[in-house]
Amino acid sequence: MTTTSFGTLPCKDLLSIAQLGAGDIETIFDTASALKADRNAYTQVLANKRLGMIFEKDSLRTRFTFDVGMQDLGGSAVFMDHRDAKLGSRESIKDMARNLERWVHCIVARTYKHRALEELAANCNIPVINGLSDHLHPCQGLSDIFTLHERWGSVKGKKLVYVGDGNNTCHSLVHACALLGAHITVCTPEGFEPNSRVISESMLMARESGSDIQITNDPEKSVANADAVYTDVWASMGQEDEIEERAAIFENYRIDEELMALARPEAFFMHCLPAHRGQEVTSPVIDGPNSIVYDIAENRLHVQKAVLVLLMG
């Protein structure tokens, strides 16, 4: 099967879910479903295509799923470790971008500064995919909602509650919910709310989709009657010096069996991983029958394969 059978996305790059429309997300989901249904049926879709992977941060899921995904589709991936030499330190990001576009067909970058991704994308003619930045995590957000989409058929009208730090994962989840009409409540300690610009742009999307977006500081009220409860680490990569301070601040925002019991009986528990058991979530919750954390991790592979096909086709 050729790449044209799957169509394309309207954007050159995927730096943010906010670049997409609801129909674009449905296209990604349909493509991911087809690729997932038979991993052996599309082994030549990206034959002779090469992916450049530039990572400033450690990674298990992002690195493996993009690398394995390219292999599944007949292509290859080249990994560049920038943990010791940050982007732009050895040579300008502009020059790096203009070199890479001569060698590979797409770049996935996992960076500290979102601006570095924007600079890469602005200076090359090949697609750039955000594998995570300090601001957004679009591949995660798409995989989260795709996993719910598989179970519910549609997330429209469902209540998702995110409890914890208003971070990059939270931002992309809010974008996705706003576009697809899911209701989302973000519950954080005071001072750790999501970025106001992300919320403002999501509110505009929500007017069209019917999504309701709430920002609160009360975990119990937030989780009541939720269809899904999501959390993430309290201190992201780059915030290691804040771990002890944040642990005290977030103590009452831990997802334990008592808090989950306030959600609907069938409510799913979600986490992007890695998880710090006993901190943001207890083991009985993450290992419980309603946890879909490993399904989400699996779907990173299929959703990212869909993104690769739709951007490189």
Q: State the pLDDT at residue 5.
A: 74
The reply to whether 39 and 161 lie within a common domain is no
Q: Among candidates 20, 231, 236, which has minimal Cα distance to 133? A: 236
Q: State the pLDDT at residue 113.
A: 95
75 within 8 A of 87, measured Cβ to Cβ: no
Average pLDDT over every residue of 9-24: 97
The reply to whether 183 and 289 lie within a common domain is yes
The reply to whether 161 and 265 lie within a common domain is yes
Q: State the pLDDT at residue 3.
A: 42
| Residue 226: half-sphere exposure toward Cβ, Cα within 13 Å | 29
Average pLDDT over every residue of 287-297: 98
Which pTM does this prediction carry?
Answer: 0.96
Is the pLDDT at 129 greater than 80? The verdict is yes
The reply to whether 152 and 285 lie within a common domain is yes
Q: State the pLDDT at residue 236.
A: 81
The reply to whether 164 and 230 lie within a common domain is yes
205 within 8 A of 18, measured Cβ to Cβ: yes
State the distance between the two ends of the chain, measured CA to CA, in whole angstroms.
12
Is the pLDDT at 1 greater than 60? The verdict is no
The reply to whether 132 and 171 lie within a common domain is no
Total tally of structural domains belonging to the chain: 2
133 within 8 A of 162, measured Cβ to Cβ: no
By percentage, how much of the chain surpasses pLDDT 90? 91
Which residues form the catalytic set? 110, 137, 140, 232, 272, 300
